[in-house]
Amino acid sequence: MTEQLQEHFDATISRDQRIEPRDWMPDGYRKTLIRQIAQHAHSEIIGMQPEGEWITRAPSLRRKAILFAKVQDEAGHGLYLYSAAETLGADRADLTNRLIEGRQKYSSIFNYPTLSFADVGVIGWFVDGAAICNQVPLCRSSYGPYARAMVRICKEESFHQRQGYELLMTMMRGTEAQREMVQDAVNRWWWPSLMMFGPPDDASPNSAQSMAWKIKRHSNDELRRRFVDMTVPQAEKLGVTLPDPELRWNAERGHHDFGTPDWDELMRVIKGDGPCNDQRMERRRSAHEEGAWVREAATVHAAKQAARERKGAVA
Amino acid sequence: MTTTPAAETVRTAAALALGDDALVLSHRLGEWAGHAPVLEEEVALANIALDLLGQARVLLSTAGDEDELAFLREERAFRNCQLVEQPNGDFAHTIARQLFFSTYQHLLHDRLASGDGPFAPLAGKAVKEAAYHRDHAEQWTLRLGDGTDESHGRTQRAVDALWRYTGELFQPVEGLDEVDWAGLERTWLELVTDVLGRATLTVPEGPRTGAWSAGAGRQGLHTEPFGRMIAEMQHLHRSHPGATW
């Protein structure tokens, strides 16, 4: 019986058709997807913090409105993704607890601090750019609800990316101090952004299985290369340098050569020892704990209302 | 329509009063980003804040340059009522502040939208937004007031603490002549009394005169937390004079 189900599943994957919530799927596939989608959702939620830092300090009302809308979109993306994870039998409250207890991860990038307003633009350009490289192929992921969530999310992400780049363009045309802010932000975010694609292929044990299941469609290194190729001309147009002495065009390969990210740093950040890990987790935990009485009130009120309606229906 | 310089000044003053209310409350709601009790409220509070910021931008632009007005005025030149500058406190304080303000703003914009004054077009749009904000605040007032003992207690304390700032909402704003302020206040009191009653909360009996006297905020007399708020809001803009963002 299981063999037949497995065969049917394998055939669906090999025909590039979608797996849907009611379809049979191997336990490993379900678990991997729950982990990946949940971590993706957590990243959206934790990712509200570094940019949210600047809502109250945005230097113009237009930028403030753009930033507000972006942070709101991120909360919305978190909601879609938690819903997608729930179609696999996960529970949002449980996933939130796993995040707060440190049992599930979120993207390493959000453990870096936003130290100037240029960081807001650079996050849009690099971080959303990297997210797009990662997520556009996920629109063809084998799991239907995940792929569909990605379609919506990618549209909004590319909008954010353009807005981030436009902020940097405006700042580069501005004062000397503004240009320095941009270059400094680029210097600080470049390597962490390359690390967003995960460890190199030869050190990424789960990738092969995820690619066989067509959950992932491209390897970490492949996506990283694509990001570099996409970003270098944008940096030139902007008039900033990328902080990598080994970066140059390789005409033979038709790609850029670039230096090696500090993988030790990535491992440290993933294990909880980055610049802001503690602060991000503490903030998420305190928001959750301080909101407990509100959620409880909503639950109790809903129960009271339901009881009153039942009583009304009887009378 | 021709306006005399004096009428223009009055119109500007009214735009600042309405615009500053929206600007300051939007800013306070922005402080919730990443702190809300549930994700749905992250979305809702940001949504309300964005609506208010949109209103503020239109209103401040009718009075001058929106960024100059937002980022370069001193505390004493802001014309917002003291209610909107009150710190967020816990979620109950934020909701009580929203209930009082959104009910007021909904009634006010409804009145302005049906008149033929200069703010009618803006109010026509804002009244729809304010209706949504008011509904959101009422629903939460009911959930919190008629929820657990803890949520009831917190909400009653919030209502009591903010009550003193509600009288100012009905001090006539010069330039908004079509508004019957006393009638607006009566209707507001009826509506708020009804919601608080359904939420099993008690309508406070204390004064509604604000920190100085009713109407002080509109004269540029604010409460202490406001200075700190605008210091944060303005610091980056002020650090780079003349820069474009």
SS (H, E, C) B159-179: HHHHHCCCHHHHCCCCCCCCC
Q: What CA–CA distance (Å, rounded) separates B182 from B159?
A: 22
Chain pair A-B, CB pairs under 8 angstroms: 141
B210, burial (CB in 10 Å: exposed 0-12, middle 13-18, buried 19+): buried
Query: Which of B50, B91, B240 minimises the CB distance to A68?
Result: B50
Beta partners for A248? A257
Contact of A58 with B232, CB cutoff 8 Å:
no
Residue A255 sits at φ, ψ, to 5 deg, of -135, 170
Distance from CA of B43 to the nearest CA of A (A): 5
Cβ within 8 Å, pair A174-B54: no
Residues of B in contact with A309 (CB under 8 A): none
Give the model's pLDDT for residue A150: 95
Cβ within 8 Å, pair B34-A170: no
Cβ within 8 Å, pair B245-A117: yes
Contact of A259 with B117, CB cutoff 8 Å:
no
Per-chain mean pLDDT for chain B:
95
Question: Token pair for residue A246?
Answer: 């080994």
Reported ipTM: the value is 0.95
Contact of A67 with B49, CB cutoff 8 Å:
no
Distance from CA of B181 to the nearest CA of A (A): 31
pLDDT, one tens digit per residue, over B190-204 is: 999 999 999 999 999
Give the model's pLDDT for residue B7: 77
Give the model's pLDDT for residue A304: 96
Confidence of residue A257 (pLDDT cuts 50, 70, 90): very high
Q: CB distance from A60 to chain B under 8 Å?
A: yes
Q: What CA–CA distance (Å, rounded) separates B69 from B215?
A: 21
Q: What CA–CA distance (Å, rounded) separates B200 from B144?
A: 10
| CA A306 to each of CA A255, A293, A301: distance values in angstroms, whole numbers, following the listed order | 62, 20, 9
Question: Token pair for residue B86?
Answer: 């009150």
In chain A, % of residues over pLDDT 70: 100
Question: Token pair for residue A186?
Answer: 């680029």
Cβ within 8 Å, pair B39-A175: no
pLDDT, one tens digit per residue, over A64-122 is: 999 999 999 999 999 999 999 999 999 999 999 999 999 999 999 999 999 999 999 99
Question: Token pair for residue A182?
Answer: 């941009």
Give the model's pLDDT for residue B2: 52
Q: CB distance from B198 to chain A under 8 Å?
A: no
Q: What CA–CA distance (Å, rounded) separates A160 from A170?
A: 15
pLDDT at residue A307 tops 60: yes
* Angle made by CA atoms A270, A273, A275, in degrees to the nearest 5: 105
Q: Which residues 113-132 of B are in CB contact (within 8 Å) with A?
A: none
Distance from CA of B66 to the nearest CA of A (A): 7
Cβ within 8 Å, pair B144-A79: no
Confidence of residue B3 (pLDDT cuts 50, 70, 90): low
Q: What CA–CA distance (Å, rounded) separates B28 from B223?
A: 14
Distance from CA of A47 to the nearest CA of B (A): 9
Q: What CA–CA distance (Å, rounded) separates B56 from B70?
A: 9
Cβ within 8 Å, pair A68-B38: no
Neighbours of B16 (CB within 10 A): 25
Give the model's pLDDT for residue A313: 82
Distance from CA of B24 to the nearest CA of A (A): 11
Q: CB distance from A178 to chain B under 8 Å?
A: yes
Rounded-to-10 torsion of CA A76, A279, A66, A223: -70
In chain A, % of residues over pLDDT 90: 93
Q: Which residues 28-47 of A are in CB contact (within 8 Å) with B?
A: 45
Higher per-residue pLDDT: B4 or A307: A307
pLDDT at residue B14 tops 90: yes
Contact of B30 with A68, CB cutoff 8 Å:
yes
Question: What's the mean pLDDT in B8-24?
Answer: 94
Residues of A in contact with B91 (CB under 8 A): 291, 294
pLDDT at residue B209 tops 60: yes
pLDDT at residue B1 tops 60: no
Q: Which of B215, B119, B102, B208 is nearest to B162 (CA)?
A: B208
Give the model's pLDDT for residue B210: 84
Q: What CA–CA distance (Å, rounded) separates B186 from A216?
A: 62
Q: CB distance from B42 to chain A under 8 Å?
A: yes
Q: CB distance from B236 to chain A under 8 Å?
A: yes
Q: What CA–CA distance (Å, rounded) separates A101 from A105?
A: 10
Q: What is the DSSP secondary-structure string of A134-184? A: HHTGGGG-SBHHHHHHHHHHHHHHHHHHHHHHHHHHHHHTS-HHHHHHHHH
**Which residues, at least 6 apart from A27, have a Cβ–Cβ distance to it below 8 Å?**
none
Question: Token pair for residue A100?
Answer: 């707060």
